[in-house]
Amino acid sequence: MNEGRFSPRFSFLVFLSLVSMTLLAACGDNTATTAITAAGSAATAGSAATTAAGSAATTAAAGSATTAAAAGNLSGEIKVGALVTLTGNNSPFGIAIKNGYDLAVSEINESKFLGGATIKLVALDDKGDKQEGISVMSKLLDQEKVVSVLGPTLSSTALAADPLAQKAGVPVLATSNTANGITQMGDFIFRNSLPEAGVIPGTIAAVKAKLNPKKAAIMFESTNEFTKSAADVFKAELEKNSIQITGTEAYSKGDADFRTQLNKLKAASPDILIVSGLIGEAVPIVQQAREVGFTQPIIGGNGFNTPTIYKDGKEAAEGIIVGSAWFLGSTNPKSQAFVAAFKKKFNTDPDQFAAQAYDGAYLMATAIKNAGAANSKAIRDALAQIKNYEGVLGTFSFDANRDPVHQPVTVIVKGGKFELFQ
């Protein structure tokens, strides 16, 4: 191709035109001036075309150079660790998260997002246990030599295990931790999961506007940092909205019978029941609440953001209201593409945790690419610089405290699925 260049034939024709026009001018032919002007214009156009082509080529080269520079000298396998809860009664969270990671990593590697490098995801089961989380984090850091970590699934595990990564100078990106204090553990700790303090206010405001409750009862797990901190946020928001708290009841992880607490709360005739719990206990609480006669709306914390709540809770789960970071029915094109790809790969719809995990893996890959090196400190710094990233969750940024900035939604279980609460 000779686009943007004079061909030899074209140059010769221009030369003949100029000679002819000179002779015509000598004979007093007024058409010569016009012809000379036209020839000049043609020459100018050819020059402009050459310049434009050169500019396009330069721009294309610059774009390629920028892409190449962003990927740096990356090559080979880059190990990224992941702590996920794959066993125990909170495994529905971890399985969805692992699937989100796997889908993203397969796309990243197949598309050569990192140029000549690929991500090797080293995912280990933390069993939703603090001590196991510490053990698994140690293995990822000391034996696997990962450059960064995704997870853990539960906030309680993160609060126990993340300090090891902070001390080692390895960045951690939490994709499902919403408790208070996560990013305060250190400057290597990030999260793309909205903290409850960023979601619950909107949820209570939406409930207040639509249902106008005057009284509320609260039930929460007292043996988990996430559920305790979320309960505190719920209490504060209820007070701000002038909703009286008629009673508060606690339970422990692994409890199976909640009827005593539920009957106590029901006796005060609250307008709504708020439950801050994880999915293992959330389903039986909801079922038993309906069993003892609770017909009022139930408001759940982030632990309710899984299809397990309505798949296992069935009719008892109808009408549950939850604040969420993401909604399956989002019209965001990236979200729709993600839903289609996830369903094709796993034959099921993704939930909020899968969506956050998918975006989290891409955020980490973007940081690695921008760092241009498989270096933990460089990756940490690149992660902190991510602003206005367009992903499944929408337009996303990290704030100065490495917490996420994007818009939450409020959903309700209706007809056996989550729909927008509006």
pLDDT of the residue at 422 = 85
d(CA 413, CA 422): 12
**Do 153 and 209 have their domain in common?**
no
**Do 203 and 309 have their domain in common?**
yes
pLDDT of the residue at 70 = 54
What is the total count of domains within the chain? 3
In a domain, 45, yes or no: yes
Domain boundary among 324, 350, 381: 324
In a domain, 412, yes or no: no
**Do 171 and 245 have their domain in common?**
no
In a domain, 71, yes or no: no
In a domain, 70, yes or no: no
**Do 130 and 157 have their domain in common?**
yes
In a domain, 413, yes or no: no
pLDDT of the residue at 73 = 79
pLDDT of the residue at 411 = 97
Domain boundary among 278, 305, 324: 324
In a domain, 293, yes or no: yes
**Do 211 and 314 have their domain in common?**
yes
**Do 202 and 314 have their domain in common?**
yes
Show the domain range for 252: 198-324
Domain boundary among 324, 340, 355: 324
**Do 295 and 383 have their domain in common?**
no
In a domain, 29, yes or no: yes
**Do 187 and 215 have their domain in common?**
no
**Do 80 and 104 have their domain in common?**
yes
pLDDT of the residue at 69 = 52
pLDDT tens over the chain, length 422 residues: 333 333 433 333 333 343 333 333 333 333 333 333 333 333 333 333 333 333 333 323 333 333 345 566 799 999 999 999 999 999 999 999 999 999 999 999 999 999 999 999 999 999 999 999 999 999 999 999 999 999 999 999 999 999 999 999 999 999 999 998 999 999 999 999 999 999 999 999 999 999 999 999 999 999 999 999 999 999 999 999 999 999 999 999 999 999 999 999 999 999 999 999 999 999 999 999 999 999 999 999 999 999 999 999 999 999 999 999 999 999 999 999 999 999 999 999 999 999 999 999 999 999 999 999 999 999 999 999 999 999 999 999 999 999 999 989 999 999 999 999 98
CATH at 253: 3.40.50.2300
**Do 175 and 249 have their domain in common?**
no
pLDDT of the residue at 36 = 31
pLDDT of the residue at 28 = 34
Query: What does pTM read for this prediction?
Result: 0.80
In a domain, 246, yes or no: yes
**Do 132 and 205 have their domain in common?**
no
pLDDT of the residue at 66 = 38
**Do 225 and 309 have their domain in common?**
yes
